[in-house]
């Protein structure tokens, strides 16, 4: 129960204070919030701009005991799909919690809950004295909902990303009503172009 309360507390702080990508000011607030979270975990954080100044990538680093090993990336994103307020029974950027503990907010499942879980898990692991063997990066990228062309697609081309020596990455996933969470191996291909030939039809 303590873990759930802790996750809900951080999640509500994220959702109430940071209406992800309502505008660029909200994104700047998101970056500052993530910097504070990294500081509270005593972990270094960097912000890089692989494409344009309005699309920052936030990288939190937990150095492993064997940093030469390929690293692990836990990826999250900071944008959400558009909001049509007339379709909502709650303010989509208020993070209302009902009596059953359900949180109503834009981006609760995609992707604020996952980023919160990454940070919450690290907080608990650090408190227990755990130290990872591999370096762990938590990345928060922009632009995912519209293809990532100004976010992850450009970030993976940078020297910064290459120096991260990524062995594998966990990205977003579906919610689960139980303690079981399924991982899908190689769900997506790496960024690239695939030429296709076909016939045009009317």
User: Is 159 among the catalytic positions?
Assistant: no
Q: Pick the catalytic residue: 79, 110, 154, 171?
A: 79
Measured CA to CA, the distance from residue 67 to residue 79 in angstroms comes to 31
- Residue whose structure tokens are 């608990």: 124
Measured CA to CA, the distance from residue 105 to residue 83 in angstroms comes to 10
Measured CA to CA, the distance from residue 65 to residue 131 in angstroms comes to 7
Q: Which of these, 164, 166, 143, lies nearest to 52 by C-alpha position? A: 143
3-state secondary structure of 20: coil
Q: Pick the catalytic residue: 143, 144, 154, 171?
A: 144
Q: Identify the pLDDT of residue 112.
A: 80
Cross-strand bridge partners of residue 73: 137, 169
Q: Identify the pLDDT of residue 186.
A: 57
Neighbours of 166 (CB within 10 A): 17
Residue-range domains of the chain with CATH: 2-170 (3.40.630.10)
Residues 6 or more apart whose CB falls under 8 angstroms from that of 92 comprise: 19, 83, 85, 104, 105, 106
User: Is 177 among the catalytic positions?
Assistant: no
What are the φ and ψ backbone dihedral angles of 28, each rounded to 5 degrees?
-65, -40
- Contact indicator for 138, 74 with CB cutoff of 8 Å: yes
Measured CA to CA, the distance from residue 150 to residue 55 in angstroms comes to 7
Q: What is the pLDDT along the chain (202 residues), one digit of tens a residue?
A: 233 334 444 445 554 544 444 456 678 888 999 999 999 999 999 999 988 888 899 999 999 999 999 999 999 988 777 788 888 888 888 888 889 888 888 877 777 878 888 999 999 999 999 999 999 999 999 877 666 777 888 899 999 999 999 998 988 766 677 777 776 665 555 556 667 676 666 5
Cα 107 from chain centroid? 11
Q: Identify the pLDDT of residue 174.
A: 65
């Amino acid at each position: 129960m303590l873990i759930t309360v802790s996750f809900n507390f951080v999640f509500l702080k994220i959702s109430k204070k940071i209406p992800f990508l309502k505008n660029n000011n909200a994104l700047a607030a998101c970056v500052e919030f993530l910097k504070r979270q990294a500081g509270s975990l005593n972990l270094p954080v960097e912000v890089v701009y692989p494409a344009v100044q309005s699309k920052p990538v936030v990288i939190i680093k937990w150095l492993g005991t064997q940093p030469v090993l390929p690293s692990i990336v836990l990826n999250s994103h900071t944008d959400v799909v558009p909001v049509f307020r007339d379709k909502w029974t709650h303010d989509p950027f208020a993070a209302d919690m009902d009596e059953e503990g359900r949180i109503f907010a834009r981006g609760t499942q995609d992707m604020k809950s996952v980023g919160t879980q990454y940070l919450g898990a690290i907080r608990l692991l650090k408190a227990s004295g755990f130290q990872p063997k591999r370096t762990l990066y938590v990345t928060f990228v922009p632009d995912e909902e519209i293809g990532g062309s100004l976010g992850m697609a450009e970030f993976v081309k940078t020297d910064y990303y290459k120096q991260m020596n990524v062995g594998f990455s966990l990205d977003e996933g579906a919610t689960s009503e139980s303690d079981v969470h399924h991982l899908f191996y190689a769900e997506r291909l790496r960024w690239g172009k695939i030429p296709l030939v076909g016939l045009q039809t009317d």
